[in-house]
A and B are shown apart, each in its own frame.
Chain A
Amino acid sequence: MIDYLDAFYSGLLNILPLTDHGTDAFIALLLGVAIGFVVGILPGLGGAVTLALMLPFTFGMDPTQAFAFLLGANAVTATTGDITSVLFGVPGEGISAATIVDGHPMAKNGEAGRALGAALMSSLVGAIFGALMLAIAIPIIRPLVLLIASPEFFMLAILGITFVAALSGGNMFKGLTIGGFGLGLAMIGLDPIQGIPRYTLEPLLGQKESLFLWDGINFVAITVGLFAIPEIIDLGVKGTGIAERASDKLGGVTEGVKDTFRHWALVLRCSALGTYIGILPGLGGGPAQWMAYAHAVQSAEDKSRFGKGAVEGVLGPGAANNSKEGGSLIPTIAFGIPGSLSMAVLLGAFIIQGLVPGPNMLDPNLPVRPDAAALGEFVPTGLELTFSFVWVLIISNIITVAVAFLFLGQLARITEIRGALIIPFILLLVYLGGFTVANRPQDLALVIIFGVLGWLMVKYDWPRPPMLLGLVLGRLAENRLFISTQIHGDFGWIDRPGVIIIGVIILVSLFFPSWQERRQRRRLRNADSHQPAPGAPIDGDF
């Protein structure tokens, strides 16, 4: 225990500018944070690609320095990605798309400052939560990850889709329909089992052009199209700035910070959700934010406010997309299984540093590299380095949030700029986002097609998030179902305990909302008998 605490403390010292090697690590961390800050704000350019490009610069660094540099950059992209999502309705990162759903309407209501304050503060809380989980969970994590085999992965994917479909739109039928449509979109591309092209529109596009659909539809292009294009059309039609109403006192940054603590239980629950989804290799950051969003909706009394600027809808994803960083580091460190694309790149950094993920990363006494003495550079013990990861996640987010707060007032005022001036800039962000993921011009066509679709969905009041969930999780679901049937037979996988537990949760998530609604209606009826004002608002919503 003393060893543990001691390593926890030295892990911090090793990245603070108090010693020589600590100063080096701290400078590396600042550099990483600066890069991550910008990358997060720019749409399209994701954390994983940035890490890949930064990797060669770590050749000359010692392990603490290298990971301060890389983790620092990766940790803050989700935080600053929320800023773009809130202000422009364009996801700054793929993993900050859910922040748009309520964050951008808040900006439209003149509450940009509040939304940003809430997003950043909840991000910070989420990041710290995830980091602490990393510190606590590492010794006990192995059974938790290994419990989840292919059948459970399949069920989790279905859970993610139904959860969001049932909750995010208010109308379960529409939600499930769109979720199913998303699943259908996920079928596009080479099938994951036999490698046969499906729905690649070969007769329409020609053999050669259809190849760009072989890897499936570009997720970021669709997200950008679905969410940003309708906003741009809307903005153009209105002729005002992004904010339709002038910001008032309630719209301030401090209000957003207070919101985070007002809804502390929600923020912590979403942080926990994000961490656990992060731990599971294969689910990735996309589902974490949406499931947190769905949870925020599900746990709220009045669901009708969501999508129109409810601060809970910002807090949930804000916390989850940061807490998942700590979570996804767990399987990477504990046994070298990367939980996401960024983590796969980070695994490359382990190799560059000559580190082997696994038990030695938890050893409080031995240097993390056996040949440390011969190296002549500073080499911490395995546990110290792991705890440095924890501290890097925390400190880099504190720095980012502190820096961002300096500019938030100014940033929020962007929403007051006249639409005609800001639209070209947002369009640039939109196409940049659609293009830079894979450098393919065809993706720009997807942005437009799904932009039109998104506009129609907004107009006719269909929820958009379930489509993204279906798209992201559809491949995983199909793949894991197929593997399950190969191994256990057609239905042999159904009686596994994990499958049954998740199945029950799915059923609950499907029926709980309508049950809750009925109960609410009954309560309303009871209230009606006392108060002679039919149709009165359920809570203090004005």
Chain B
Amino acid sequence: MLDYIVHGGTKMKPTIFIRTISLGLAIMLSAVIAACGGEAAPAPAPVDTGAIVKEAVEQALKSAASAAPAASSPGVSPEDVASLIQDAMKSIPKGVSAAEIAKIAKDAADAAAAANAPVIPKGITAKEVAQAAQEAAKAAAKPAMTAEQLQAAVANAVKSAVSEAIPKEAPFYEGKNIRLLVGYSAGGGYDTYGRAIARHIGKHIPGKPDVIVENMTGAGSTIAANYLFSEAKPDGLTLGLWNSNHLFIKALDGNPGIMFAGEKFGWIGAPSDGNPVCGVMGFIGPKTMDEMVKASKEGTRIKFGTTSEFGSSLADVPRLHNYTVGTEWDIISGYKGSSKVRLALQEKEVDAACWGWESMSVTGRAMLDAEGEDKFIPFAKLFPSEDPEISDLPLLQDLATDEVKKNLWDIWSAGYRFQRPWTTPPGTPDDRLQTLRQAFDATMEDPEFLADANKAGLYLNPMKGEEIEQHVATILRLGKDDCKALQFLVLDRGSC
């Protein structure tokens, strides 16, 4: 039984784990006190403390449970523990009353509960915790002490043993390296964001691991995503940064190269969301959304520069708009990325384009500030924004002709609620994912990181891992009808 309690910790959930620790501590403490007392006053007389100890243990259990509310550990009843403790207490000294023992047991349980679970890495067993606490207690307890002194000394020693000695023993990440696989080459947006965060996140992970960025390029980051899904070891040491637009394309079954199931990844966090904005050059005439729609309906040819990277705003937004609003904007595809589209706009080769405002507002600054024919005029956006430059623009989905089509925008845009998320391979232990999530969130508030990001002109609007999980679920819930309706986005390649 005891064996089960102290060794069982390796495979238990954290909540049960806390309780296991507290139980272990309670037992161990009683034993310690018994041993110490035994030295101080030999010839013990058996004391009937069963009832009081039982009460103490129940109390301890309760306080542990209040810290981590869940059903009590299966197979271990308070009665079992009480009888074990009772056995251990056969040599209890005369000067220590049962009430005091109860108090010590309760303090120990509180201390165990206060040491919150993620701080104690999973590799450490309850036995190790107990041993550390036991040693601390032994050192604190002197034979000449009064019962009061003994109580205070042992309780303090246990508290510090739990809160300090345990995490110090070996956080999982201590002395280890974390690999961050970036699906794009060095110097791009993904790489820039990835490296900026990687420089700072290490210090927020217990054990302060180094985070090493590795560029695993190819196939629009699907190589990295596939690798992460099926080959990377799910030990929390290999993380990935790949284009989450693939989730949506996968839902449409539009890319045979995607060999992963999106719902199985662990989502750590994302540095920002994205807000695609559409703009049109001054030379073509129409300057607002209404004028753009009207011009198209009157037969004016308006050319949109797009890429062949499905799922990106450059490629999808104009086509989705054509479908949901009924415009006939001309889709000119084949440009490689927004910088080539920007050049085409300036050459008057194309007239309009849609891409992320966070990029447009920086790299397209000169065009936005230009005058007359050369001015690039934003006319619609995906999400509401407080940026004064685009705050008045209409939302893209508001012009959709019916609710079904409006809903398509909702599904499509779920992928833009978070951009460049960090992921863990499927099957990564939950506590490590939680550790990484906390570290990611802490990094997003780290002044040093913020200073770096500000310098690099990185737009930040962090999204927590839990929220990303929900948005991913929204994308993956894509229904059969919607999937069929949206097939044009992947050139009718998928089967729904």
Which residues on A are within 8 Å of B, measured CB to CB? 48-49, 51-53, 55-56, 59, 146, 148-150, 190-195, 197, 207-208, 211-212, 214-215, 281-282, 335-338, 341, 344-345, 347-348, 351-352, 354, 356-359, 438-440, 479-480, 482-483, 486-487
Contact = CB atoms under 8 A, between A and B. Distances in A.
B338 to A, nearest CB: 11
Contact of A439 (B196, B216, B340): B216
A215 B219 contact: yes
Contacts of B347: 146, 148-149
B187 A341 contact: yes
B477 interface: no
Given A357-B366, A439-B216, A192 B310 contact: no
Interface string B300-318: 0001000011100000000
Contact of B218 (A149, A336, A438): A438
B204 to A, nearest CB: 18
B455 A347 contact: no
B370 to A, nearest CB: 9
Nearest to A342: B187
B195 interface: yes
B346 interface: yes
Contact of A337 (B309, B332, B342): B342
A376 B366 CA distance: 26
Contact of B365 (A337, A341, A356): A356
B333 interface: yes
B186 interface: yes
Contact of B214 (A207, A352, A356, A439): A439
Q: Which 9 A-B pairs have the closest CB atoms?
A: A52-B187, A52-B186, A358-B366, A214-B219, A351-B457, A345-B187, A195-B308, A59-B455, A149-B347
Given A192-B336, A193-B308, A208-B259, A348 B349 contact: no
A352 B215 contact: no
Given A52-B191, A211-B219, 6 more contacts: A49-B187, A52-B186, A55-B187, A194-B333, A354-B457, A479-B334
Contact of A194 (B214, B339, B346, B491): B491
A192 B307 CA distance: 8
A194 B259 contact: no
B223 interface: yes
26 contacts: A51-B187, A52-B187, A56-B195, A146-B347, A149-B344, A193-B308, A194-B333, A197-B256, A207-B256, A211-B257, A214-B222, A281-B343, A335-B366, A341-B187, A345-B187, A352-B456, A354-B457, A357-B366, A439-B214, A480-B334, A483-B332, A486-B332, A486-B333, A486-B334, A487-B303, A487-B349
A482 B226 CA distance: 31
A214 B365 CA distance: 33
Interface string B218-258: 11101100100000000000000000000000000001110
Given A195-B309, A207-B257, A483-B335, A351 B218 contact: no
Contact of B334 (A146, A337, A483): A483
A208 B332 contact: no
Contacts of A351: 362-363, 456-457
A437 to B, nearest CB: 9
A211 B226 contact: yes
A487 B191 CA distance: 34
Nearest to B309: A195
A59 B449 CA distance: 12
Among A197, A208, A347, residue most surrounded by chain B Cβ atoms (within 10 Å): A208
B199 interface: yes
A197 B196 CA distance: 33
Nearest to B457: A351
A48 B195 contact: no
Interface residues of B, number: 49
B186 A49 contact: yes
Contacts of A59: 452, 455-456
B217 interface: yes
A280 to B, nearest CB: 10
Interface string B362-391: 110110000000000000000000000000
Contacts of A338: 339
Contacts of B131: none
B392 to A, nearest CB: 24
A208 B191 CA distance: 24
Contacts of B346: 146, 335, 337
Contacts of B342: 336-337
Among B192, B214, B452, B491, residue most surrounded by chain A Cβ atoms (within 10 Å): B192
A487 B345 CA distance: 13
Among B336, B363, B452, residue most surrounded by chain A Cβ atoms (within 10 Å): B363
Contact of B259 (A48, A207, A440): A207
B496 to A, nearest CB: 19
B218 A193 contact: no
A193 B256 CA distance: 17
B219 A482 contact: no
Contact of B349 (A150, A194, A195, A211): A150
A211 B222 contact: yes
Among B196, B216, B334, residue most surrounded by chain A Cβ atoms (within 10 Å): B334
A445 B333 CA distance: 33
A440 B343 CA distance: 32
A129 to B, nearest CB: 25
A487 B226 contact: no
A482 B191 CA distance: 30
A36 to B, nearest CB: 16
A211 to B, nearest CB: 5
B185 interface: yes
B181 to A, nearest CB: 10
Contacts of B349: 149-150, 483, 487
Nearest to B333: A193
B25 to A, nearest CB: 46
A53 to B, nearest CB: 6
A430 B106 CA distance: 68
Interface in B174-224: 185-187, 191-192, 195-196, 199, 214-220, 222-223
Contacts of B215: 438-439
Contacts of A207: 256-257, 259
Contact of A440 (B218, B220, B491): B218
Given A48-B187, A214-B218, A487-B332, A352 B455 contact: yes
Contacts of A208: 226, 259
A211 B217 CA distance: 11
Given A194-B308, A338-B339, A482 B456 contact: no
Given A192-B336, A194-B308, A352-B457, A56 B218 contact: no
Contacts of A52: 185-187, 191
